[in-house]
Structure 1
């Protein structure tokens, strides 16, 4: 919860990326505060969310690039905590906002308020149509489909996913089980939606359970870059959007989803289920 120190480190990475010509900078989930909801000072730290959002808006404008500042946990009236990702345009304006829907396990569900049945928003940016998901949302193909149906071609996923998120039974079988989960899922999602996935996961000291594996994934290739291991780092990636059009021409995923008679027009609901 060293907010100013963590912001300063993020700012330094973003300035380096901007000097290399980056048009978008993406940070991990919980990058300012970590996820320590039982700490008595956690809510006090989350109450400062507007200060840091405005800092990132000013930084985006100064550096003339778009920023997704990971997620920022916001404390609202009624002691409600929201885990929110913002897309900040190069002029400093907020072009998109998403509050985490699929909360991980009992700890997040105990402390955070889900965006629940609110639609997943896709929005226009200088990079084209973009959607955002957060961490455990990755496990739900429906979330991607909802964004793809709105025309999103880039899905940005700030994440705080560790190797220790696996159960003891899973870890006994494979200590890197969560790494396999992430690599497999990210590649599958970009293929099955003919989209690009920008995945920024938390990194940290070796032996502390960090998974890392931040990457930009596209069809045909998989990861364009993949930060191996758990350590902290940064990479500037060239994303050729033509890859997505070539993949769609081949797989016709978006075309099928757009058909009026497409046979997977359903929602998982107890009340809507057809037996």
Structure 2
């Protein structure tokens, strides 16, 4: 009998650099999720600091990451609930270069307060992030054994890359957890002129597609905020066949809770045979890169494709 797990995704408005205030609000939602018997609660990306890397005090705030990671470990143990505390930006001093390195990190903390998984965001959003953050680059995506089965962690713009999902699915991931800070203003001027909510359409479409094409569940927690400020919200829990089984309809703060029936994932796999194909020795997609480490073009002749 496949298990059923209850999951909560929290949509918060991260007040810029108001770390303690943001943590206290997150803790309230976590305690509420625990009272509703949720086994896992997921917070948004940048939920402690917001994304204000040029603002005075941001670096200092990122230096407190260990303090707040420990607070979430204690809270998980207190509430007997697993927590993915969105992402926490970590400040690390590189003495040999005499400079700071910032990592955008998601953790999976179990209900005993133990860290079962850690993931550094790989796909950074343009120069907005690349000018400040260090990517996990070519480090492989990892799957973690958790009380909710095999879990993979992705962050925000990672979901635009099917390769990230495929790498996790090939390792048996059943649930993909994705903390996010995705706004409507991430669209271009042309796109906004065509559809002011184009990014919401992007998110709804891609999350549903990823569930179907990977026979997995997704817990997606996005930042929210006041209307008219560009926050997209629409945090949701998605499954094959159904799409969103729980979804926050707007950009306001709130929490969505849903039961995720892993029997549905098993049935979807039996129907679509995605994982079975990925596991075949003669599987024809090797995820070739266009260039090798030396910069030489090793791609196929595109005129033949």
- Are 1:246 and 2:262 matched, yes or no? no
Displacement of 1:195 in angstroms is 0.2
- Are 1:13 and 2:34 matched, yes or no? no
- Are 1:205 and 2:226 matched, yes or no? yes
Displacement of 1:273 in angstroms is 2.3
- In the alignment, which residue of structure 2 is the partner of 1:67? 83
Displacement of 1:270 in angstroms is 1.2
Q: Which of 58, 79, 85 is residue 42 of structure 1 equivalent to?
A: 58
Q: Mapping of 1:132-211 within 5 angstroms?
A: 132-211=153-232
What secondary structure, in the 3-state scheme, does the structure 1 residue paired with 2:255 have?
A: coil
Root mean square deviation, CA, Å:
0.7
Q: Would you tell me which structure has more strand in proportion to its own residues? A: 2
Q: Would you tell me which structure has more helix in proportion to its own residues? A: 1
TM-score for both structures, normalised by structure 2: 0.89
Deviations 1:172-215 (A, max 9, x none): 11000000100000000000000001100001111110000100
TM-score for both structures, normalised by structure 1: 0.99
- In the alignment, which residue of structure 1 is the partner of 2:123? 102
- In the alignment, which residue of structure 1 is the partner of 2:286? 265
Question: Which stretches of structure 1, 4 residues or longer, exceed 3 Å deviation after superposition?
Answer: none
Deviations 1:222-268 (A, max 9, x none): 00011011111012211111110010010000000000000112232
- In the alignment, which residue of structure 2 is the partner of 1:230? 251
Partners of 2:235 and 2:256 within 8 A in 1: no
Length, aligned pairs only: 275
Q: Output the CA distance in 1 between the equivalents of 2:275 and 2:170.
A: 7
- Are 1:80 and 2:101 matched, yes or no? yes
- In the alignment, which residue of structure 1 is the partner of 2:7? none
Q: Which of 71, 75, 80 is residue 55 of structure 1 equivalent to?
A: 71
What secondary structure, in the 3-state scheme, does the structure 1 residue paired with 2:261 have?
A: coil
Could you tell me which runs of 5 or more consecutive residues in structure 2 were left unpaired when the two chains were aligned.
Answer: 1-16, 95-99, 293-297
Displacement of 1:83 in angstroms is 0.1
Q: Output the CA distance in 2 between the equivalents of 1:207 and 1:248.
A: 41
Could you tell me which runs of 5 or more consecutive residues in structure 1 were left unpaired when the two chains were aligned.
Answer: none
